[in-house]
Structure 1
Amino acid sequence: MEDKKYLSTTKLSKKLAIPSKHLFGQLQDKCYINRKDDVWVLEQAGIDAGGKYQVSEKLGKYIVWPETFQLEKATPVGMLTATTLGQKFELSARRINQILSEHGCIKRHVKGWLVTPMGQRVGGEQREDNKSGIPFVLWPPAVATNPSLKNTIEELKGDTKEAKEFPVNAPSADKSSGFRDKMKPKLRTADGHFVRSRAEMLIDNWLYTAEIVHAYERRLPIEEEVYCDFYLPAGKVYIEFWGMESDPKYCERKKQKIGIYEQYSFSLIELNDQDISSLDDVLPRMLLKHGITTY
């Protein structure tokens, strides 16, 4: 006979002095329970947290929890995960964590993230996944309106007034195209580089927040005078953004340039207009092929 006492979700809500509707919502957000055919069912995470079923003649089959169940295992009402915070800015959880790390609010763990004293000052609360043990941080809604964080996000997304004045699809720069003389690099990135287009700014900002060392417009180590868009020393990888593929002359130069990369067996990542709006999905996959991992 078990000594451990169990409470129904409704009785547990009374013990914790919160509305039962809120507790059910928190347990569902945490994937402890789910609603199927108008009935609450336990998920594996809920079982791992100590939940189980009981059956009575009056109530039928229902979910119960250990009397010692800790509410902090569920997401507090109103608190934001990196995922929900990212949804407010149309960014991935990975990108939000990178930005919060750059602001000194969190730091990397072997897996996951740890809140720093600075993060605690703005309301960050340390949590860990009940199943995997991977640490993560919850944030109060006020973080989404933090001026410093919003400014950084605007810069990284290219939403500043200055950034919008520059073309997104400006071509790559090399001497033979004459583009280096026609359009000077005037758009400042988050790490202080000056680039020639908004697309290049978004790529540079992505590499910076991912903590990937990179050079902008580095000359290729060959006899011909050719410049790449970006160079990553860690994997000896070059990145080219092709932005004016409707221009026949540009396409011809693109073909010649790709031929140079192939001739010297240089590792090349190619990006186009469609990739710019989904760098969080595209770049980690492409970089991994060259042995470069992103967190």
Structure 2
Amino acid sequence: MQMELLSTSALAKKLEILPKQLFEHLATIGYIQRQDTDWILTTAGKDAGGSYKTFGSYGKKVVWPADINFYEDDDEQKESQGLLNATKIGESFGVSSRKINALISELGWMKKEGSCWKLTKQGTRKGAKQFVKSGNHYVKWPESILTEKLLIESLNSLSSTKIDEQSATKISDFRQQLQAKLRTTDGHFVRSKAEMLIDNWLYMAEIPHAYERKLPIEEEVYSDFYIPTGKVYIEYWGYENNEKYLARKAEKLEIYKKYDFNLIELNDKDVENMDDILPVLLLKYGVKSY
């Protein structure tokens, strides 16, 4: 069902106030501004739900969702003071708000549910706050996000800009010792036969995946596999008789728990029965394999 849209004057009538009062209020809170003799939407106004509609001979006018009430936003305005939306963040980096939202979601700081953006525990740790307006959920971020290392690295990787070399070259002793020499069907080079079987299974199941992806955290930790759909990580534990390996395994599990990442754990027995096991585990995170 399409949402009813009202002109600013019609909305003022519904709110039982004079149109002049509503226009002045919207200008004060930064949702509209004068351009010659017309009122035009600002970026904030568009984010709030404003759009344009042509009314015959009256021409193009600003319209709003019929259920919106701008006078309920006073507390929110105070709470969001000093916080940035995706549009403002994007302007600082010279990219679109859509790309910023996608990158922040990829980092696990918020997630998309329908048309809404929902804050995660990781995002809350970054100082972000959740807001709701006219049924639309969105997130605003502290100015510190403009210097957030992980976000900058993600932006740099998209623009082929060289990121901090020291961070990019740090790897664990285990990864140094065991080179990735086995080539999978989709061209990845992996470090064990089990990893090759897992990679090939994901490829044949037409599930996009990355091999040895760095977790989006400050700690230098790499997952065995990452599946963007469902934002789920896969770890294969294959050296259960190695004390050093088991200690590292325990550390990694603590990190997955700390950041509340979606994790699937596989051992040798699971790899032997992937057709039965992996589809069920993936489905828990909304990833369909068949």
Q: TM-score, normalised by structure 1?
A: 0.40
Identify the structure with bigger relative contact order (alpha carbons < 8 Å, sequence gap 6+): 1
TM-score by length of 2: 0.41
